[in-house]
Amino acid sequence: MPDGPAGAPTPEPIPLAKLRPPTLHPRHVARAALTTRLAEAWRSPVTLVSAPAGFGKTSALVAAMGADPARVAWVALDERDDDPQRFFRLVGAALQRVSGHGAALERALATAQAPPVPVLLTSLLNALSAARSEVLLCLDDLHLVADPQVHEGLEFLVEHAPEGLRLVIATRADPPLPLHRWRARGQLLEVRADELRLSADHTAEMLTRELGRPVGEATAAAVLHATEGWAAGVRLAALALVGTVDTDERALVERLAHGTGYALEYLAEEVLARLDGPLAAFVLDAAALDAFTPDLVDAVTARDDADARLREARERGLFVQAAPPPEGAPPGAAWWRFHRLFRTLLRGRANAVDAEREPLLRRRAAAWFEDHGAAEVALEYALSSGDTRRGARLLDARAYDLVMQGRARYVERTLERLPAEDRARAQRARLAYGWALLLRGRYDDLAQLTNGLQDEVQALSAGDRAQLLALRAVLADTRGRAHDALALAHEVLDAAPERDLVTRATAQMALAGARRELGEIGPAIAAYEGAIPLSRAAGLAVPEGLARAHLGLLYVQRGQLSKAISVTQPLEGAAGHPAAAAALLSRCAALLERDELAAVRAALPEATALAERGGQPAVLVNAQLAWSRLRQADGDRHRADAALEAARTLVERGVPTWVRALVAARSCEASAAAGAFDAAEAHLVGAEALGARGPARAALALARARLLLRRRAPGDLDAALAITSALVAHAGAGDPGDGVRIGALVVQASTQAASGDASSAHTSLARAVRMAEPEGFARTFVEAGRECAALLGRLGHPYARRLLAAFPSEVRARVVDAAPEPGLQAATRRERDILRALATAASYGRIADDLGLSVNTVRFHVKNLYAKLGVGTRLEAVERARTLGWLEDDGA
């Protein structure tokens, strides 16, 4: 057994046989009315064919769809498809075959970190809609699927399907879908048992075809009476009638017409009774198997005649059908199975004779499949026959690959099916399931699982121990236990095999997180940077997305906005993935610093929606912080506060200390800006007690300085100056980074100005502006408000002028009036009137009319204005004037 996994395994192949509509029975009885009715499916958003087993649902559909098979996406479901990822993978593959769309859905679901199904379906539906594809998606045997997520996905599909996509469901039980609603809206075509029942004529026709001779009226009537037009019953009756002599037929008819017995069972027994010993033995034994080849039947029965018996059974029409090969089974062989209903009857008969035989045969089949490399099929046989020891062993060997292939749900369910004793033995399977919990952010469940495994750590191999340590390191990191996380991560990186990239990437992330929590920003950045190629090599999008998100925020704090924006570039293939949300939000944080509000406005809604689907509190908090800053920039203080309030609620769900500190800092600033100094103080005091380090501690210090600057109680300005000076001067291990330093310089300048030290204020702000220019920091100046604007106006630095342009117009107007740009002549009142008119896109003639001037006079003023503003076009003139605050109404 390999000691550790090397990364994500290749996806499981899609069993194509499940995507081929079955062929019609050669003696199929055509039913024109039913076919016409089902052809309506092309015009109905949803078609439901709901009837018990053996009513000919599948055949009726195949007959109706057969006219246009190229547009029918068929999925034959089985018990193993009761898993949303697997189910929608099949749907994707089926749609791909007929429409050329769906491959992306299929591939995305074949991994451990698949985005939620609705996200993927949205892209698929858009593609189908754009291509105007006409597709009938047929789901056969949907009753085998119970998972609510599948039904939610189907409901989503129907509610959002483009015109050309129609859903057809064949099932034995009405699915938990909003059938009532669809019915009321006229979106549902229903074909139920009564419509599927064979008429007297069709019953007679089917009997005639099956028997190859005409049947008497009495016989047909008796069969119809006993079977009530149930197709499987009629075929079984025909089988029972084959080769009967007259007296036998009369006896059978008598019993069918008047008996009280369950007709199908009785007919099946009649059929069995007519088979000779070896064939009956073959049929009863093979019915214990879900699908079989002669080799398999011989192997489990220890006989050697299966090949001949199978031929015989097929010749006699004993409900033998071609079956999809079980997954992982040796290729080449043709697989067979009995029609489900007939098989059930056969199993009943076999169990009545010897209840021990079926489990015995299935246990042998488990061994056979295991020997032939079909581990998962072997696992199913083992579990269903009570061989849980073998089941646990097989699950243990496969679980890791299954999880990484997106089958965590199956691993979870299978673990639940094991008795406690065998579950305890399946340590590797539980460990593998731990990875699924980690990738879904289910930390509480993961903690419980790792605690359990920790007690049995001695029984684990070295590679598995490293995996367990890596999971524990991540947990320690998410719980803010940085020193534990660091120690565990180092242990993993020393012990994990080089090729176990998943474990190493995970440990690397825990290590980086711990460094960050400890305020060691340089090492944290180096660790996150190292985690990106590792995650990529391991095929893990989730940690890669998180590493990029962390780097983005850290670069912002360091003052490297370009790097922040480039590292958080949306990743190809990760679009729509919750893992992409964190990186997108970090990108928004960088864009906000640059005051690129339009870009933030464009990106934030999607990032927030993804974050909500992912449900990670820390990511959700970052979304709310970004909204709060954006709303504040819009001047919408009420909604900015609401976003902060949401962030504070989310914090209570458990986030790292540094996230908590950022929320407290922002809350403090918002309260202080509103003059609520006690509330501001309260936000801060709680957070300062957390002992955050590095940039988080600096953010809190800066918030306190801003509070002091606004409050201006005796001694406050001196205290603010002390704090900002410390932040500006601090270098070395606890360096808050230039991003924070720029903010500190801005606060320092305002503090100095407020203390009457104009020259120091000028120096501090000039330094801030010089540091801000290369990377384009802007928002931190704007958020410092009016005083900062006034100081900027006096700097005369070109970047200071650009910064001023970002201030709200009412602030800007006063500043520019107070400190006109050197060399810039003020505009006259008339020129300002004309500028405002220019901004409305009115023609010169219209402007002249409105202002009571001649067109030539307007032209004259415009020419002068262009010269004053140093511009060449109307658009530039308006822009420039807006920057200077010349467009504001100066009537006051």
Partner 1 sequence: MAPATARAYELRVERHLGSGAAALFPEFELHHEPDGSTVLTGTLADQAALHGALARVRDLGLVLIGVRELPRVHGAG
Binding residues for partner 1 (CB under 8 A):
52-55, 172-173, 230, 232-233, 260-266, 268-269, 340-341, 344-345, 347-352, 355
Q: How far is the CB of 75 from partner 1 (least distance, A)?
A: 20
| DSSP code per residue over 395-455 | HHHHHHHHHHTT-HHHHHHHHHHS-HHHHHH-HHHHHHHHHHHHHTT-HHHHHHHHHHHHT
Compare residues 329 and 341 and give the one whose CB is closer to partner 1.
341
Q: Which is nearer to partner 1, 230 or 410 (CB)?
A: 230
Q: How far is the CB of 189 from partner 1 (least distance, A)?
A: 23
Pairing of β 320-323 and β 335-338: antiparallel
Give whole-number Cα distances, 790 to 796, 805, 813, 887, in Å. 11, 12, 10, 19
Query: Is residue 605 within 8 Å of residue 643, measured between CB atoms?
Result: no
- Any idea how long the chain is? 892
Report the distance separating Cα 609 and Cα 623, nearest Å: 9
Closer residue to partner 1, CB minimum distance, 179 or 193: 193
Q: Assign 109 to helix, strand or coil.
A: coil
Are the C-beta atoms of residues 777 and 561 closer than 8 Å to each other?
A: yes
At closest approach, how far in Å is the CB of 118 from partner 1?
A: 28
Residue 603 Cβ vs partner 1, minimum distance, rounded to whole Å: 46
Of the two residues 263 and 604, which places its CB atom closer to partner 1 in the complex? Answer: 263
Other CB atoms within a 10 A radius of the CB of residue 192 amount to 14
Pick 418 or 532: Cβ nearer partner 1: 418
Question: DSSP string covering 173-242, please?
Answer: S--SS-HHHHHHTT-EEEEEHHHHSPPHHHHHHHHHHHHTS---HHHHHHHHHHHTT-HHHHHHHHHHHT
**Smallest separation (angstroms) from partner 1 to the CB of 289:** 17
Tokens 């504001």 correspond to 888
Which residue blocks in 636-757 are alpha helix, DSSP H? 637-651, 657-673, 677-688, 694-711, 716-729, 738-754
CA 377 to chain centre: 28
Q: What is the rounded CA–CA span in Å between residue 432 and residue 426?
A: 10
Please state the closest distance from residue 346 (CB atom) to partner 1, in A. Answer: 8
Residue 319's SS3 state is coil
Chain centre distance of CA 781: 38
- Cβ at position 236, least distance to partner 1 in Å: 11
Pick between residue 268 and residue 453 the one whose CB is nearest to partner 1. Answer: 268
The 8-class DSSP code of residue 385 comes to T
**Identity of the residue, 187 or 344, whose beta carbon is nearer to partner 1 in the bound complex:** 344
Closest approach, Cβ 409 to partner 1, in A, equals 18
Taking the complex as a whole, the smallest distance from the CB of residue 307 to partner 1 amounts, in Å, to 27
Smallest separation (angstroms) from partner 1 to the CB of 198: 14
Nearer to partner 1, 228 or 606 (CB): 228
Shortest CB 494 distance to partner 1, Å? 47
What are the backbone dihedrals phi and psi of residue 191, each rounded to the nearest 5 degrees, phi first? -125, 120
CB 242 within 8 A of CB 211: yes
Q: Of 284 and 789, which has the nearer Cβ to partner 1?
A: 284
Residue 750 · residue 787 · CB < 8 Å: yes
**C-beta of residue 523 within 8 angstroms of C-beta of residue 559:** no
Give the whole-angstrom CA distance, residue 892 versus residue 890. Answer: 5
Q: What is the dihedral of CA 326, 328, 332, 338, to 10 degrees?
A: -10
- By beta-carbon proximity to partner 1, the closer residue of 341 and 524 is 341
- CA angle 780/786/790 to nearest 5° reads 100
Distance CA 83, CA 786 (A): 59
CB count in 10 Å sphere of residue 136: 22
**Under a CB-based contact definition with an 8 Å cutoff, are residues 304 and 312 in contact?**
no
The 3-state DSSP class for residue 324 equals: coil
Cβ closer to partner 1: 232 or 554? 232
Which phi-psi region, left, alpha or beta, contains residue 870 (left: φ > 0; alpha: ψ -120 to 50)? left
For partner 1, which is the closer residue by CB, 53 or 609? 53
Residue closer to partner 1, measured from CB, 90 or 263: 263
Question: Rounded to the nearest whole angstrom, what is the least distance from the CB of residue 48 to partner 1 in the complex?
Answer: 16
Q: At CA 151, angle to CA 149 and CA 152, rounded to 5?
A: 60
Q: Minimal distance in Å, beta carbon 172 to partner 1?
A: 6
Q: Give the neighbor-by-neighbor strand order of the sheet with 72-76.
A: 72-76, 135-140, 165-171, 46-50, 188-192
Return the number of the residue (285 or 500) whose C-beta is nearest partner 1.
Answer: 285
Cβ proximity to partner 1, 263 vs 699, nearer residue: 263
- Cβ of residue 265: shortest distance to partner 1, in angstroms? 5
Least distance between partner 1 and beta carbon 44 (Å): 25
Nearest to 662 by CA among 565, 556, 522, 784: 556
In the complex with partner 1, the residue whose CB is nearer, 269 or 879, is 269
Q: Which two tokens stand for residue 321?
A: 């059908």
* CA angle in degrees (0–180, nearest 5) for 394-398-399: 110
Query: At closest approach, how far in Å is the CB of 52 from partner 1?
Result: 4
The H or E element spanning position 170 is strand 165-171
Residue position matching structure tokens 């927030």? 608
Cβ atoms of 752 and 760 closer than 8 Å: yes
Asked whether the beta carbons of 547 and 119 are under 8 A apart, the reply is: no
Structure tokens at 825: 């002549």
- For residues 237 and 256, is the Cβ–Cβ distance under 8 A? yes
Query: Residue 849 and residue 519: Cα distance in Å, rounded?
Result: 66
Shortest separation between residue 268's beta carbon and partner 1, angstroms: 7
Query: Least distance (Å) from partner 1 to the CB of residue 54?
Result: 6
